[in-house]
Structure 1
C-alpha cells in the first residue's frame, strides 16, 4: 500500500477506536497487526518487545480503572488497556514496511505537502547519526583534557548546538548547490505511485474496521 495511505489508515483507525468503544474490534486489530508483522518476517525478539514494552502502560490503565475505582468497570478497563496495543502494533506495521524516506517522498508527491517540509524531515533524520557521533567526539575530547561531561552537562549541549548550527549551514549550502529553490516545482527522481489498488485496499480495511466497531462491543 502507498505509504501516505498507510499513514492515514493508521491515523483514522486510531481516531475511531478512541471515539467508539469496542473491545472485540481492538482484539481483532491486535491479532491482525501481529499476523501482518509475522507475515513480514519480523523477528520474534521484536514481537516480544512490542508486547512487553507497552505492558506497563496498559497494566497501569487497567489497574486504575478496575482496582482503584469506587465502581469498577472491567469492560471499560479492558477496552482502554487494549487500545495501547492497537496504537503500538498498528504503528509498528507502518514502520516495518515503510522507511522515513519513502514516507517523506510520498507525503510530498501524493498529499502535496510542501517540499521544504519533506526535505526538512529527511534532513533532521539523516543528521541524527552525525549528531550522535559529534556528541561522542565532544565527550572524548573533554575526557582527554581531564573533563567529564555528563549527560546533563550544559557545556555538552552548548557544544552540540554549535555543531548542529554548522551542520545546518552546510546542509543549506548543499541543497542550494543541487538546485533546490523553495517554492519552485521539482521533479522526482524516485516516484511513489498511488494506484487504484491502494485506494481499494484502503477503503476495504477502513470499511471492515467500521463494520466491526458498530456491530461488536
Structure 2
C-alpha cells in the first residue's frame, strides 16, 4: 500500500477512535494490526517489544480509571487503555516495509508537499545517527579534560546545538552542490505509485472501521 495512504489511514483511524468510544473497534484494530505484522514477517523480538513496552502506559491508565477513581467504570478503563495499543500498532503498521526515503518521496509526489519539506524530513532522520556520534564525542572530549557532562547538562546541549547548526549548513551546501534548487521542478528518480488497488484498500478499511465504530460499543 502507498506510504502516504497508510499514514493518512492510520491518522484518521486514530483520530476517530480517540473521539468515539468503542472497545470492540479497538480490539478489532489491534487484532488486524497484529495479523498484518505477522503476515509481513515481523521479527518476534520486535513484536514482543510492541506488546510489552506500551503495557506500562496501558496498565497505568487502566489502574487510574478502575482502581483509583471515585466512580470506577470498567468499560471506560478498558477502552482508554486499549487505545494505547491501537496507536502503537497502527504506527508500527505504517512504518512496516516503508523506508524513510520512500515516505519522503511519497509525501512529495503523492501528497504534493513542498520538496524542501520532504527533503528536510529525510535529512532530519538521516542526521540522527551523526548527532548521537557527535554527542558521544563531546562527552568523551570533556571527560579527557576532567569534565563530566551528564545527560541533563546545559553545556552538553549547547555544544550539540553548535554541531547541529554546522551540520545544517554543510547539508544545505551539499544539496546545492548536487543541483537542488528550491521551488523548481525536479525529475523523478524512483516513482512511488498510487494505484486503484491502494485506494480500494484505503476506503475498504476506513469504511469497515467506521461501521464498527457506530454499530458496536
TM-score normalised by structure 2 residue count: 0.95
Query: Superposition pairs for residues 1-217 of structure 1, below 5 Å?
Result: 1-217=1-217
Deviation at 1:145? 2.4
Deviation string for 1:54-94 (max 9, x for gaps)? Answer: 11111111112212223221111111111111110111111
The 10-residue stretch of structure 1 (50-59 or 145-154) with the greater mean CA deviation from structure 2 = 145-154
Aligned residues: 217
Which 5+ residue runs of structure 2 have no aligned equivalent? none
Deviation at 1:211? 1.2
Deviation string for 1:19-55 (max 9, x for gaps)? Answer: 2211111111111111111111112221111111111
Which 5+ residue runs of structure 1 have no aligned equivalent? none
Following the alignment from structure 1 to structure 2, what is the Cα–Cα distance between the partners of residues 66 and 155? Answer: 44
Ranges of 4+ aligned residues in structure 1 off by more than 6 Å? none
Backbone CA RMSD of aligned residues: 1.2
Following the alignment from structure 2 to structure 1, what is the Cα–Cα distance between the partners of residues 112 and 48? Answer: 37
